Chains A and B, each alone.
Chain A
């Protein structure tokens, strides 16, 4: 397990901006706290973000991610802590004094101004020459593919077009940092997916630093190079999408990011590179030794559904030797065909229920499992993770 995780980390290091610690970070958030009355919205968040990163702040609503973003934009002042941008503390600077721009969830386009004037608004405030403004606006209009729409007012545009104007307006000043507050929430699913791709491509091309706030873990995983997961005002894990998914730090993160099977149990023994856990309702499981030594004896074994395999008959060979080290018998209780994959629920003889997702790699699958069928559920010791909390 430890070796494999190192492999995951090494692969991520190759991605731009994934390791800001090697250079001076563009943005350093240092012990930032924000209270609203008695409610602590952001609770001592520290985070470094490198130039050129596409960083996602992910969390459920009310976790403090939007408040943190608003502090970066200057709409809220932190009660404690520093926000360093390019080395200077901007924590108390007013919004109009910061080289940071934001794209609002509601887009906040000025309804009385045309598309052109919306995009030019920030350029005029910067005191740019008229000719330069015209050039930059044309450039931005082309960038977001809104040619021919320059004279329209926001209420003459579709939702997708408004989203593009908002993006062009925020990008026009070429900010050091672009903040995006749920930028795709108002779009329908198809448009959202294509826009995700466009945003990524745009960020790569411009080499700009993006910080996106989202509650949608799929969106964060698709777009971001790194993800910071927030819960109750605290940053609970900062990791690459893969590390976050494959090596979540807690039960809560494991459940928040994707689907997962969790089995609680007692730590029984520790041998060479593996630990044995007696679970309450899934028998005894063998798991590769986690990175950090396990302190508690009450732990959870977590395994993603797509790593849970099913078999029709008892597997050959000694369970202790083969890769299919964990074998559990059970009965299929639910089958849900999803197109690309099929989700199975298996009621284990030991009492628990396990979910398994199997890719539909062929059009006709005569081997598909059906409800009430007896199966063997199996997975390797490397495919599951031990979680303490």
Chain B
């Protein structure tokens, strides 16, 4: 056996592994969800029909296929409740991601310009909240934001307000919770691109007559775009499907799609509609991902 073949085998397996992972943990469950989304709800176990019975023979399977329909999808795009939930999810995600970028970029930039030993300290400070459970941190915020919570006490003590402000169950509280929770996901990819950027590039721009603002917009920012893209995606996609933070901090008058999905699944026991909602969410989220990949590929091809 030649040396080449010895190395070829594990290499080939390594190439297959991610596809195998995708098939096992994404495509197969996706197939199940897709099938349920095309079924009808039923008072049964499981709570939908038809149910494929591969032991029942060819005709039964054919009949089951015939029973599948896209009724659930029609319902989702025609009912305002669901359409609003999608629109609200996208609005919240876009707004929150924009706020995250505005806050995260200066922090990442500042970190990247710190002396090397302080960069490590700053990195730990960014990551340290992860050591506490996410739910506990959100409950802590409820504590801070509630009627007689820390925030209102401080505001009253400073005579900035004359009576307690309602924070909880507002969109402000929800945005605060989202921005707080996702900030590390925005900072870390931005920091990674900014830290590896050669400092001489900014010096060269200044040397060639660019004042500090121009240095940033003509050199630093364009070169940090891969980090911006990664940070935006890492925040935007999970925020669209976010369920816990809006449920705990926002009011109940308008729901995000994650909450709607939860209601359909657990309260209404309508698995098919919940599945259809999940499928549409996936399609909505696939769009920015594909766009990002196309831009990245074009950049690679240009090289």
Contact = CB atoms under 8 A, between A and B. Distances in A.
10 contacts: A75-B207, A94-B211, A96-B210, A101-B208, A104-B204, A108-B203, A108-B204, A126-B209, A153-B302, A153-B303
Contacts of A100: 207
B207 A101 contact: yes
Contacts of B218: 121
Contact of B219 (A106, A110, A156, A169): A110
B240 to A, nearest CB: 30
Interface residues of A, number: 27
B303 A95 contact: no
Contacts of A109: 204
A108 B204 CA distance: 6
Given A104-B203, A112-B223, A121 B303 contact: no
Contact of A121 (B198, B200, B205, B211): B205
B27 interface: no
Interface in B219-278: 219, 222-223
Nearest to B197: A111
B205 A110 contact: yes
A170 B206 CA distance: 12
B301 to A, nearest CB: 12
A100 B222 CA distance: 26
B135 interface: no
Interface of A: 73-75, 94-96, 100-102, 104-106, 108-112, 121-122, 125-126, 153, 155-156, 169-170, 173
B219 A95 contact: no
B261 to A, nearest CB: 41
B198 A125 contact: no
Contacts of A95: 203, 206-207
B223 A111 contact: yes
Contacts of B219: 110
Contacts of B161: none
Contacts of A169: 204, 208
A109 B200 CA distance: 9
Contacts of B210: 96, 121, 125
3 A-B pairs closest in CB distance: A122-B208, A125-B209, A108-B200
B102 interface: no
Interface string B69-92: 000000000000000000000000
Nearest to A111: B223
A106 B302 contact: no
Nearest to A120: B208
Contacts of B303: 153, 155-156
B24 to A, nearest CB: 38
B218 to A, nearest CB: 8
B206 A96 contact: yes
